[in-house]
Structures are given as C-alpha cells and as structure tokens.
Amino acid sequence: MAVSPYGSWKSPITSDLVAQSAIGLDQVTLDGDTIYWTEIHPQKQGRYLLHRAAPDGAPAPVTPDDGRFNVRSRVHEYGGGAFAVADGTVLFSNFSDQRLYRLRDGEPIPITSVAPKAAALRHADGVFARGRFICVREDHTGAGEAVNTIVAIDLAAEQASQVLVAGNDFYASPRLSPDGRRLAWLAWNHPDMPWVAAEAWIGDIATDGSVANARRLVGGPDEAVAQPQWSPDGDLWLVSDRGAGWWNLYRVRDGELDAEHIADALEPMLPMAAEFARPHWQFGSSCYAFCSAATVVCCFVRDGLWRLGRLDTRTKDFTAIETPFTDISQLRAGADRAVFIGGSATEAPALVDMDMRTGAYRIVRRSADIADELRPYFSTPEPVAFTTTDGDIAHAFYYPPASPDFTAPAGEKVPVLVKSHGGPTSATSSTLSLGRQYWTSRGIGLLDVDYRGSTGYGRAYRLKLARQWGIADVDDCVAGARFLVAERKADPDRLMISGGSAGGYTTLRALTPPAGRTFAAGGSYYGVSDLEALARDTHKFESRYLDWLIGPYPAERATYVERSPISHVDRLGVPAIFFQGSEDKIVPPNQTEFMVEALKRRGIAVGYLLFDGEQHGFRKADNIKRALDAELYFYAALVLRSGLRF
C-alpha cells in the first residue's frame, strides 16, 4: 500500500463513471403482476423513460426512445406522479408540452388539448376511475398565480376536463374508494407547506360524476397529513404526525367515514417513534401498501435508516422484515408481493420485487452496475450525532477516506467535505452513491449533514428550522465539522462545504463570517443567494415557503436582506465555485452571476460553470461530469495542496 497525502489518492471511481454508469429510478407502480417504472437517463439528456417488467421477466421499454417523449410532470415544478397504468393502458404526462398521452400499443395519443400557452396545463398524480382519469391539474393559462384543482378527464370523449374539487391553493393524492363512491384527497393553503399543515378530505361521487358533500376529515393547522389510501375493504388509511409528533399510520373504518366527529374515529395502527412518510416535494410517494385487506407492508425511517415491516390490520401485530436495504421508497404491493426501490451503503438503488411469504427477492433493475473491483474503494457511512447550538442534537453520516491502494502519512489529519442537502425540508440518504465515493476514494472525508429541519426525526426536529433558515442549518454544518475536528482528527485548515439549491444557500451562508471562519472553500450548486428575489419571483409551490423559513415578506424585509449571501458578498473571503443551469426558474442565473462578479472584483478565487439547457438540478451526463471534476480541481488547487492524481 502506497503512502500518499489525503486528497492525492488515485481512484478508479472517475467522474465518467459517476455520470455515465448510473440511471435514476423514479416512480414505480404495479398493474396486476406487471411492474412499471420510470428511469432518468443522464446520458440521454436527462429524459425520463417508462419501462415495465412482467413477473420474472426482463425490463422492456414502454415509451418510444426517440427523443419525443419525456415522462415527467411540471406540477409544483418538481413533478412526480407523471404516469398511471390500468389493465395495460398507460396515461403519462410529456414534459415538453405537458399534455397527457394514452399508450397501450403503438404510438402515444394525446388526450388533452394544446394549452393556449406552452405547457400551461399540467397534470399529475392521477388514478383511473371507471372511464375517467382523476388527477391534479395546475393551470397557468391565466394572469397571476397558477390555479390548482382536481379534475376528471373523460377517456372516451374529446371534451373539457370536469373540475371536481377547487378552492384550496394546493391538492395532492386524489384516491378513489374501491366501490367508486368516494374520493379522498389532500389539500393545503398558503403560507403552509404540506409537511407543516395539510388536510385530508373526502367527498361523495354524484351521479353526474361531480364531487358532492366534500368534508375535511383531519389535518392542519398543527398537523400534516400524507398518503391517503383506501384499503381493499373500503377503510381509509393515512399518515399523520398528530399525537406524539411522528408521521405514523392511522385508519378510519368505512362505517365511520360519515361520523360527525371524524377525528375521534381516527385509529392509530402502529404508534412508533419513526416516520412512515417523506416530505411532499414530489407527487406519488408511498411508504405503505396493501397486500390484502388483512396485510399492510410498510417502510419507515428511524435515525436516518429505513426498514421494512408487515402489519396485520386485524390484530395490529407488527413483524419486522429483515432486508439488506437501508433506504426504501416507492413501496407498492399486490397479493403476497411488495415492490420498491431499495438501496444500502454497499448497493446503489435498485428496483426490488419481494415475495412477502418468504422474504426472498429479485432485483428487477439496478440504477448502476457496480464492478466488484470497485467495492474495496467504498467508504461505509457511520451515523453520528453531535451537540449544536441551543444544546440541541444534530445528525449526520460520516464517510471516512477509503482505498485499498493508499494510506496517509502518519499523523496527517483528514480533509473533510461537508455536504448540505437540498430542501431544506428533506434528508440525506446512506444509500451507495458513486458521487460520494468519488471523494472518499481520493482521501477526502465526507460529512453528510441532516441539520435541524430535516425529515425522518419527527415533527419537532422538522419544525426547528421555522424562521431559522440560514442560521440553524449553518450552525449544524459548522458544529458537525468541528465535531470531526475534535473527535475524528479532521484537519481544521482543510474543511470544505458544498450543497445544491437550499444546500447551496447553506453553503454560501457558511462561507460568510462568522461561520465563514470554519471552511476554507465551498461549492454552490444553483444555490440561493438573494432571498428577496426568491420571495418575489419563485413558483407558486414555494412562493410562501420563505414565510415559514424566514418570515413574512415584505413585512420582514430587513431579515431577508440580512440573511441573503448577496448582501454580504463583501465579507465572503474564501474561494468559492458556482454551478448554474441557464434555464433555472427557481434560482435564476443572474443571482449567481452577481456573486461571481463581486468576488472577482475583490480578487477572491472564484469559479463559475453555466450549463445551457439545465434547470434546477443537472440531468445531463456531460454536465454532471464537468461539475464534479471542476469542484475537485478547485479544492485541489486552493485547499488540499496534495498533488492530486487522477
């Protein structure tokens, strides 16, 4: 084993490998025995393609791979829930025009009209409903803010959509009861986000197809409800963070859905200090599903790690299911069968088909084929918890440097890259990522921080970011870095920080004094630098998010100015590199370019890469590669001082 300084190690985990070898696994659904799912292909300009696999069959494409179709919705800008399947018929949203297309065999056929303005009518999160398709619609045809409703589209006739539910600012999860008599859905209003306050509603399907007698069941203002689903025998299930403050499973029996005090009929099914939901950034998330009326399969997160289990709906007996997966999402079920996306510290995300009777499973599709010769280079994440401001405890995963070929000189301290996840209401994952191993296999430690405000640790932890964005998250990243310096002998002079979107904002705040005395350099991927501009110009879904994260605007404009990195660019005194998409509507390029030019004028080392055609997040392989290499070169030249070898 060669002796070489940390940060200089040669690694077979190259940027080409990171960008080209992996696909993204997105939405999953079951249609009888056939699995359908979408894949994100960076090497195909980031297009989302639909695939399917029959039982024990090989994956096969569903949508044509000729560049015309991209199975992706733009509702809430973040999309999700872009397709649905019933009896072999697929309905999907096409990204370029946002029209719904029907596909069974042959050519996809549009079933919604061309909008007066390009992609102005958007659809997501739909279900088939006896000759109709019921879904969320976002209407951008008028002036001012988009209008969100739940609509029904007649699949047999060319006619305007029928609006079923309207009046709230946002909707999600329209779900039809097994007998077709009731519709359940979620709703919330400005300034709330769905993980702060969201309501579950039901209504009756009238003879003309409209929704009558709409009534709120539970939720808001101090309760966030998620994932309403009907059991096969007509009970309504949902996830709520009422009570002890954890997103847990609840049930309302069919016969009690018309009760006067419906909240009293809400029955806890599996009380646990764990979360059975993820934040609603995208449509279509599912953390539980019905194998039958008597059996629910569910996944939950505790201390950052996901687990799988089985619940008997009659006795409430719960059985943990041992699996090698520590991250589980998109959980669907059929008779004695569960399908989900699963990953672990040693395995990249994969589409998994599990036999619920035996626990045996097969891998239907891997997001990346990992060569055995790469595995010795993988760093295993270590969950860590550390004290931060106000005596609170924050959480993270630490990845120490790892290589079978190199070791550092005796006594050398580890350079560490701190990662701040996006959201900010989100969470990191311990699932194998070649993007993380790219750093650790070169002798750079990585600390992936679940700062206060992250999900997976209960409602109280999730709400600790209220009016504290740019403070609590930054404090936790700083505290995590200092924890490593004290406990793991990290090099205090070679600490770096990087993040995307909200994580980019945290990065820029962390590079500015007083926090800026901790990190030697940083990388901002489409990071927010001007909170005022974000409050004025961002899309509807997030347009009042800052009310909660910062305070009402413009009433508290002074706070926005104070916490905007763009206001303190004269104090940012360490090297920074910026990565930006030219078509980003959430963080426009002009914000980033103002920061870059200001740093140049002051003689601060700065890098800037603008990627044509990219939006808020990079999906094209060439751009992913260029950004990763540029960030590493930047740190190598200005911080690592280690003679980096590629």
Please enumerate in sequence order all residues whose Cβ is within 8 A of that of 491, keeping only pairs 6 or more positions apart, or say none: 6, 412, 413, 414, 415, 416, 485
Orientation angle between helical segments 502-510 and 472-487, nearest 10 degrees = 60
d(CA 196, CA 200): 13
pLDDT grade, residue 643 (50/70/90)?
low
The whole-number average pLDDT for the span 576-586 is: 91
Number of compact structural domains in the chain: 2
Tallying the residues shown for the chain, one arrives at 646
Position 208 in a domain: no
Residue type, 363: I
Q: Which residue has the tokens 């920080």?
A: 497
Position 531 in a domain: yes
**Backbone φ, ψ for residue 80 (5° rounding):** 90, 165
User: Is residue 264 pLDDT above 80, yes or no?
Assistant: no
The whole-number average pLDDT for the span 543-549 is: 95
pLDDT grade, residue 298 (50/70/90)?
very high
71 touches 94 (CB < 8 A): yes
112 touches 119 (CB < 8 A): no
Enter the tokens of residue 485: 């310096």
Position 288 in a domain: no
DSSP secondary structure of 220-236: -SS-BEEEEEE-TTS-E
Q: What is the domain range of residue 515? A: 381-640
Position 422 in a domain: yes
The whole-number average pLDDT for the span 631-636 is: 96
DSSP secondary structure of 71-90: B---TTTT-B--EEEETTEE
Secondary structure of residue 476 in the 3-state scheme: helix
For the whole model, what pTM was predicted?
Answer: 0.94
The whole-number average pLDDT for the span 220-226 is: 95
Query: In this structure, what CATH number is given to the domain that contains residue 424?
Result: 3.40.50.1820
Question: H/E element holding 597?
Answer: helix 589-601
User: Is residue 588 pLDDT above 70, yes or no?
Assistant: yes
Helices (H), ranges, 405-451 = 434-440
User: Is residue 222 pLDDT above 90, yes or no?
Assistant: yes
d(CA 164, CA 152): 7
Enter the tokens of residue 490: 């990290």
Q: Which residue has the tokens 């989100």?
A: 426
d(CA 465, CA 583): 29
The whole-number average pLDDT for the span 516-520 is: 89
The whole-number average pLDDT for the span 501-524 is: 92
Dihedral over alpha carbons 354, 359, 360, 361 (to 10 degrees): 20
Q: Which residues pair with 175 in a beta bridge?
A: 184
pLDDT grade, residue 508 (50/70/90)?
very high
Question: H/E element holding 420?
Answer: strand 414-420
User: Is residue 158 pLDDT above 70, yes or no?
Assistant: no
Mean pLDDT, the chain, rounded, equals 94
Burial class (CB in 10 A: 0-12, 13-18, 19+), 227: buried
The whole-number average pLDDT for the span 365-382 is: 94
Secondary structure of residue 40 in the 3-state scheme: strand
Strands 24-31 and 34-41: antiparallel
More confident residue, 153 or 489: 153
Position 195 in a domain: no
Position 248 in a domain: no
The whole-number average pLDDT for the span 13-33 is: 90
Residue type, 607: G
pLDDT 10s digits, 409-458: 999 999 999 999 999 999 999 999 999 999 999 999 999 999 999 999 99
d(CA 631, CA 488): 24
DSSP secondary structure of 527-543: ----HHHHHHHS-GGGT
Position 406 in a domain: yes
pLDDT 10s digits, 327-348: 999 999 999 999 999 999 999 9
User: Is residue 55 pLDDT above 90, yes or no?
Assistant: no
pLDDT grade, residue 504 (50/70/90)?
very high
d(CA 379, CA 399): 6
Secondary structure of residue 189 in the 3-state scheme: coil
Question: HEC string of 37-83?
Answer: EEEEEHHHCCEEEEEEECCCCCCEECCCCCCCCCECCCCCCCCECCE
Q: Look at residue 645 in the predicted model and tell me its pLDDT.
A: 54
Q: How far is CA 106 from the centre of its chain?
A: 33
Question: H/E element holding 310?
Answer: strand 305-312
